[in-house]
A and B are shown apart, each in its own frame.
Chain A
Amino acid sequence: IQPPEKPLRAEEWKRLREGFSSPEIFEDVMLNSMVRYNSPIDVAKSLLTHVAKSHGDIAYSLLIKYLALCVQQGKTSEIRDVYDIMKTRFKILESGAYNLFIRGMSNSDQWRMALTLLEEVKKIMIPSRANYESCIKAASRHREMNLAFELYREMLDKDLVPTLDVLQAFFDSSRGMKGAELQKELFGILFYLRDNQIYPHKTFMRSVKLWFESIPGETWRGHLTSIKDSGECPVCNHQLEDSNLTEEEYDNLRERIVRDVIHGTDPFRKTSPQEFEAFQAFVESRLPFDIVIDGLNVSHMKPRQTQCENLFNAVNCLAKGNARLLVLGRKHMLSNSSSWRKELMMEMQNKADFFFAENISEDDTFLLYATLQSGKHCKFVTRDFLRDHKACLSDSVTRHLFRKWQRGHQIAFYSSAEGNHINFLPALRYDCVVQTTGDTWHIPYKNSFEEKYSYQVPRQWLCLHQK
């Protein structure tokens, strides 16, 4: 229903209510649609007056809706009035009301009131990240950076994940401000992005650039660029960090893959202990490999060709540089059918080592194990994003390690439209993550806000260096 444009008198509300199909929820529906149409608050006030005079009281849910309308229109004094009324009328308030109060007050000149409200919320529950967001933004808008950072740290302590919006607000409002302490805090945010492998989007990147260039007394210059395949920045000729893991990280990752991904809760789910032992012995006796290939994944590359022709092409292509290859497959590939011809399979086995798992086993887990066991130089070939395996890892630190290792070691492929040619996308030689050397910063960023797949790595970079 469309709310009236002007305040109505009691009789007029009464008439409207009687004409409505279900009068018992008339006020709720009416106030909801006032919020939707952003009606003038005087109209809502006249409805509340009518309700108050006929019932002697106003239900909590109606007050909340009225409050939402006031917040939407930034009517600060009205918000305060509603707060006073609610505080005396009810013993405690619930999260919905507090969300509105904090949002409403933080956008006004009485923004410190929002901080008091935040303290009140803490007494009954853990505040939401939106609550913190409102308060932090209010504080940084008024250039109270210490306060803003204090709230930010408090939020992280409570395991709340800040939105990129809040982080961006820090850079926006620190523009042109001086102070070593402040600079350290902002660098801290960039390290937060690095540790959690978060890529900022374009507008965020611009805020970072503008802040760097505005630091008084320093001569930062920012350029947008894309990094060469060799890992060199074309602007400042700086070589980016390589994607290798440290010895310790590497061992840790390998151990966790065996424990969480291959064995998991039950070693029989993905393979069987006998089969895994046989595979381990097989790998040990032939180490090290240079490239490990997911045979079945590669064999589906071109639908026009038979599966074994696809695999044959890929093996030929990858075997060129005298690389030691391991192809993983399943036993059904040996059955000499129309899609798996015996003579081609025989020929391939001269060029590469093959391991055939049981038909009901998962060959991906073998792929991960063989690659990690071969050492840091070893790469693997599959089009699979391995997201389900990443999900088996129990903590985020190891998952980040896995992603880093995957970026540096996975060879993806695509087939060109004509001919048998296969194109392999080499693994990245440099690590795609926020990084610094002190006098340079390199920050990868996403072109738009929507790109969100974990396997996608941005190609654009912000290069910052001092003149």
Chain B
Amino acid sequence: PSEKIDLDGWKKVMKSGLQEVSETVSEQKELSALDGARELLEMWRLAGRSVPENITEEQLKDFIGCPSKSAQKKYLKFLYIKELRKKSDKRKLIEKRERLQAQERESKPDETKKNSFMCFWANSMDKAYNWRVAQSMIFGQPLVFDMSYENDMTIREVANTVKQIVLSEGFNRRSVDPFHIHFCNLQEDSLYQKEFIKHYREAWDRLLVTATDQCYTEVFPKDKLVYLTADSPKVMKTFDHDKIYIIGSMVDKSIKTGVSLARAKRLGLETAALPLEKYLLWSSGAKNLTLDQMMHILLTLKDTGDWKKALEFVPKRKYSGFINKP
């Protein structure tokens, strides 16, 4: 009797539960493009592809607007990973809260803490930082972000750029001796501007930086300007406290060599590249760094003048070690 195994039993089960489902299916109308796409994504998710569970109307439109199938796939994967990250962040937050609660229950509530130091709240830290940045706006060394690359980037690249600049601005604010940051060539209603407002909200107008639609050549004397670009044939030897360094606000995910060098050439400016090869045993990766890494490096150079310390901020995966005798 053990030989008898019902092989097609699954078909019966699948067909039996169908009566009520097929009725709804039968009144199928022509689906609109959006609904059709939504259905398709749901099926892809069921098939086990990297597709987000929830998708907004706007994202769905972006998905339909993708120029090719591979672009669609990439976009979906991007949303999927974003969703996963959000979920795990949420889970971690809940776990942390539970852990804290458990700790509180264990510790005895009656003992009051005595401390001779005044408690520093975030608020008063902010005040201290702002004081320093305000001073730098009067006496500090200028540092220019060139915001003229919008047409060379995709929307996502612009968003990434602004994110990196927001990080840089944060590092600068908390440093001992901040730069006076200038956003030059920043047009009203530009994508950059919109992204900035998304990040800073109402704080954007109170930000202690100089934002202008003028070019740096109109703001500063030309002979003081140095354009930092990885394509420059000139290598920077020392950090000059009298110069005004310019960083191109550009994230370049496709291959566009020489865009910022061309800009400096057109304006007849001095250019310089970081001495990466002089100090580091480069292993792989492009020599262009993110804007926040540049900010860390320049701040460290300004404070210490120590290349080795400054170049610690180059990502470790890009080099295998420091050169002993530069």
Interface residues of A (CB under 8 A from B): 7-9, 28, 42, 45-46, 48-49, 51-53, 56-61, 64, 81, 85, 88-97, 124-126, 128, 265-266, 268-270, 272, 359-360
Q: Which residue of A lies closest to B22 (CB)?
A: A88
| Interchain CB contact under 8 A, B13 and A91 | no
Q: Which residue of A lies closest to B18 (CB)?
A: A88
Secondary structure call for the B interface: helix
| Interchain CB contact under 8 A, B47 and A94 | yes
Task: Give bound CA distance, A128 to B259, whole Å.
Answer: 37
Query: Other than the known A85-B15, A89-B14, A90-B43, what 4 A-B pairs have Cβ atoms closer than 8 Å?
Result: A85-B14, A89-B21, A92-B40, A269-B257
Interface residues of B (CB under 8 A from A): 2, 5-11, 13-15, 17-18, 21-22, 25, 28, 31, 36, 39-40, 43-44, 46-49, 69, 152, 233, 257-259, 261-263, 265-266
| Cβ–Cβ < 8 Å partners of B2 in chain A | 9
- Nearest 3 CB-CB pairs, A to B? A268-B262, A94-B43, A60-B46
Q: Which residue of B lies closest to A85 (CB)?
A: B14
In the complex, which of the residues B5, B22, B263 contacts A9, with contact meaning CB atoms closer than 8 Å?
A: B5
| Interchain CB contact under 8 A, A59 and B39 | no
Given contacts A64-B47, A94-B44, contact A53 B9 (CB under 8 A): yes
In the complex, which of the residues B7, B47, B69 contacts A97, with contact meaning CB atoms closer than 8 Å?
A: B47
Task: Give bound CA distance, A9 to B6, whole Å.
Answer: 9
| Cβ–Cβ < 8 Å partners of A90 in chain B | 43
| Cβ–Cβ < 8 Å partners of B25 in chain A | 88, 91
| Interchain CB contact under 8 A, A269 and B259 | yes
In the complex, which of the residues A89, A92, A124, A270 contacts B18, with contact meaning CB atoms closer than 8 Å?
A: A89
Task: Give bound CA distance, A118 to B216, whole Å.
Answer: 59
Chain B proximity of A194: nearest CB distance (Å):
27
Task: Give bound CA distance, A18 to B25, whole Å.
Answer: 37
| Cβ–Cβ < 8 Å partners of A57 in chain B | 13-14, 17
Chain A proximity of B35: nearest CB distance (Å):
10
| Interchain CB contact under 8 A, A92 and B39 | yes
Task: Give bound CA distance, A172 to B36, whole Å.
Answer: 40
| Interchain CB contact under 8 A, B47 and A61 | yes
| Interchain CB contact under 8 A, B7 and A7 | yes
Task: Give bound CA distance, A65 to B69, whole Å.
Answer: 23
| Interchain CB contact under 8 A, B261 and A269 | yes
| Cβ–Cβ < 8 Å partners of A266 in chain B | 259, 262-263, 266
Most buried by B among A56, A85, A125, A268: A268
Task: Give bound CA distance, A92 to B36, whole Å.
Answer: 9
| Interchain CB contact under 8 A, B266 and A268 | yes
Given contacts A42-B7, A94-B40, A359-B233, contact A60 B18 (CB under 8 A): no
Q: Which residue of A lies closest to B6 (CB)?
A: A49
Task: Give bound CA distance, A81 to B259, whole Å.
Answer: 59
Chain A proximity of B216: nearest CB distance (Å):
17
The 27 listed contacts between A and B (C-beta, < 8 Å) are A28-B48, A45-B8, A52-B14, A56-B17, A58-B10, A59-B46, A61-B46, A88-B18, A89-B14, A89-B18, A90-B43, A91-B25, A92-B40, A94-B40, A94-B47, A96-B49, A97-B47, A128-B69, A265-B259, A266-B266, A268-B262, A268-B263, A268-B265, A268-B266, A269-B258, A272-B266, A360-B233
